[in-house]
Chains A and B, each alone.
Chain A
Amino acid sequence: MDGSMEFTMGLSKGIAWPWPIAVYLFLAGISGGALVVALALRFIKCQTANTPLYKAAALISFVTISLGMLCLVLDLTNPMFFWRILVFYNLTSVMSLGVIALCAYIPLTAVLCLYAFEDDIKAIKGLSILLPLISMLKPIRRPLELLTLILAMSVCAYTGFLISALIRFPLINTAVLPALFIASGISAGAAASKMVSVLVFKEDLHSSELKLLHGAEWPIMITEILFIVMIAMSLATGNEGAQSAFSAFTSGVWANLFWVGVVGVGFLGPILLNFATGRTFSHSAKAFYLSGVCVISGMMCLRLFILYAGQTYGI
Chain B
Amino acid sequence: MSENIERRRFLKGVGAASLIWGPMGCTSVEDDSSNTNKPHYVMVFDQNKCTGCGECKLACNTANNLPEGKSKCLMEHQSGGVEGKACPHCGKDKCNCERKFVRVSCQQCKNAPCVSVCPTGAAHRDPKTGIVTMDKSKCAGCKYCIGACPYNARFINEDTNVADNCDFCLSSKLSKGELPACVQLCKYDALVFGDINDPNSYVNKLLAVKDSVRMKPQFGTEPSLRYIPVVKLGV
Binding site for B on A (CB under 8 A): 1-12, 15-17, 75-78, 81-82, 84-85, 87-90, 92-96, 99, 163, 165-169, 311, 314-315
Does B97 touch A at the CB level, under 8 Å? no
From B164, which residue of chain A is reached at the shortest CB distance? A11
A81 and B146 in contact (CB under 8 A), knowing A88-B122, A95-B117?
no
How far is B211's CA from A78's CA once the two chains are assembled, in angstroms?
44
A-B CB proximity, top 9 nearest: A10-B152, A77-B141, A88-B120, A16-B147, A95-B119, A78-B161, A96-B119, A84-B140, A11-B155
Does B90 touch A at the CB level, under 8 Å? no
Task: Classify the secondary structure of B's interface with A.
Answer: loop
Instruction: Please indicate which of the listed interface residues B104, B152, B214, B231 has the most CB atoms of chain A within 10 Å of its own CB.
Output: B152
How far is B150's CA from A85's CA once the two chains are assembled, in angstroms?
23
Contact of B148 among A5, A9, A167 (CB under 8 A): A167
A168 and B150 in contact (CB under 8 A), knowing A11-B72, A84-B138, A84-B140?
yes
Instruction: Please indicate which of the listed interface residues B141, B153, B214 has the most CB atoms of chain A within 10 Å of its own CB.
Output: B141
Do A2 and B217 touch (CB < 8 A)? yes
A-B contact pairs, 22 of them (CB 8 A): A5-B215, A6-B102, A8-B76, A11-B72, A11-B74, A11-B105, A11-B155, A76-B140, A77-B156, A77-B162, A84-B138, A85-B119, A88-B120, A92-B116, A93-B119, A96-B119, A99-B119, A165-B148, A167-B150, A168-B149, A169-B147, A311-B147
Does B21 touch A at the CB level, under 8 Å? no
Q: How far is the CB of A8 from chain B (nearest CB, A)?
A: 7
Contact of B140 among A82, A166, A311 (CB under 8 A): A82
Binding site for A on B (CB under 8 A): 47, 72, 74, 76, 102-105, 113, 116-122, 138-144, 146-156, 161-162, 211, 213-217, 219, 227, 229, 231
Q: How many A-B residue pairs have CB under 8 A?
A: 134
Do B213 and A1 touch (CB < 8 A)? yes
Q: How far is the CB of A294 from chain B (nearest CB, A)?
A: 30
Instruction: Please indicate which of the listed interface residues A5, A9, A17, A168 has the most CB atoms of chain B within 10 Å of its own CB.
Output: A5
How far is B138's CA from A16's CA once the two chains are assembled, in angstroms?
19
Do B146 and A88 touch (CB < 8 A)? no
Contact of B142 among A7, A76, A167 (CB under 8 A): A76
Residues of B within 8 A of A5 (CB): 47, 102, 213, 215, 227, 229
Q: How far is the CB of B44 from chain A (nearest CB, A)?
A: 12
Do B146 and A167 touch (CB < 8 A)? no
How far is B122's CA from A95's CA once the two chains are assembled, in angstroms?
13
Do B140 and A90 touch (CB < 8 A)? no
Q: How far is the CB of A115 from chain B (nearest CB, A)?
A: 31
From B73, which residue of chain A is reached at the shortest CB distance? A11
Do B121 and A88 touch (CB < 8 A)? yes
Do B141 and A78 touch (CB < 8 A)? yes
Residues of B within 8 A of A169 (CB): 147
How far is B113's CA from A24's CA once the two chains are assembled, in angstroms?
23
Q: How far is the CB of B150 from chain A (nearest CB, A)?
A: 4
